[in-house]
Amino acid sequence: MAKIAVTEEEKEIKTSKVKEVALGLFANRGYHQTTMSDIARAAGVGRGTLYWYFPSKERLFIAALWHKVEQMLAESKALAALNMSPFDKLSLALEKLPRSSAKHGNLLRALFQVWGEESEEMEQQMETAWERLNRQDHSLLTEIIREGIEENGFRPVDPAKAAVTLIAFTDGLLYHGLFGVSQLEPGGVEVARDIILRGLLK
């Protein structure tokens, strides 16, 4: 039988790996097609150990969801703390905003596979997680734009409304890339990003 972690550090390392593995399987195989045995095998842990930490696949899905969301929130906060001009920070935010990062693609694919089909608790957890991401990213972009306006570098637009537009832009690019809705020509993303940024300048 696999050894159950006995320290908080061991537990965190082991459960983090399980969450990442589970999210990848949910995204690529489908939530319903993935069993707890599949996850235990892929994560290199015993099935009993897996159930020790996560009593059901639903609880594991919710834990994996929040594990990834907390990573994304931390990355947004790190962007907000950078010491650079509003234009450079906004340019970097549009490029590196966690919600538009390919490394978090498994989360989006997994969410879309279960949205509207699972338990009320799962639906509520997913909605709450996405609301937190939206608030964090909206706050980040709004503050950057407000700072740019105060420094007389950006046009006097409504920062909150401009932030909503930028989030829609990054989400649109992410969905197109993840689900193959359409393919942009090489460099197309950079061109679109530059058009939006230049539109904010005075």
List average pLDDT for each run of 10 residues in the chain, which is 202 residues long: 62 90 91 94 94 94 93 88 92 76 72 75 89 91 95 94 86 62 57 81 84
pLDDT value at residue 188: 61
pLDDT value at residue 201: 87
pLDDT value at residue 181: 47
Taking the domains of the chain in order of start, what are their residue ranges?
Answer: 8-200
Return d(Cα 23, Cα 35) in angstroms, integer: 12
Q: Rg of the chain over CA atoms, in angstroms?
A: 20
pLDDT value at residue 4: 52
Return d(Cα 7, Cα 131) in angstroms, integer: 33
| 142 CB-near residues (< 8 Å, 6+ apart) | 159, 160, 162, 163
Return d(Cα 90, Cα 61) in angstroms, integer: 33
Return d(Cα 1, Cα 46) in angstroms, integer: 7
pLDDT value at residue 119: 82
Q: What is the pTM of this model?
A: 0.80
Q: Biggest alpha carbon distance in the chain?
A: 66
pLDDT value at residue 179: 56
According to CATH, the topology of domain 8-200 is: Tetracycline Repressor; domain 2 (1.10.357)
pLDDT value at residue 180: 56
Q: Which amino acid is at 36?
A: M
pLDDT value at residue 115: 72
| 127 CB-near residues (< 8 Å, 6+ apart) | none
3-state secondary structure of 154: strand
Orientation of helix 159-179 relative to helix 86-96, angle to 10°: 30
Q: Is 66 exposed, middle or buried (0-12, 13-18, 19+ CB in 10 A)?
A: middle
Are 161 and 145 spatial neighbours (Cβ–Cβ below 8 Å)? no
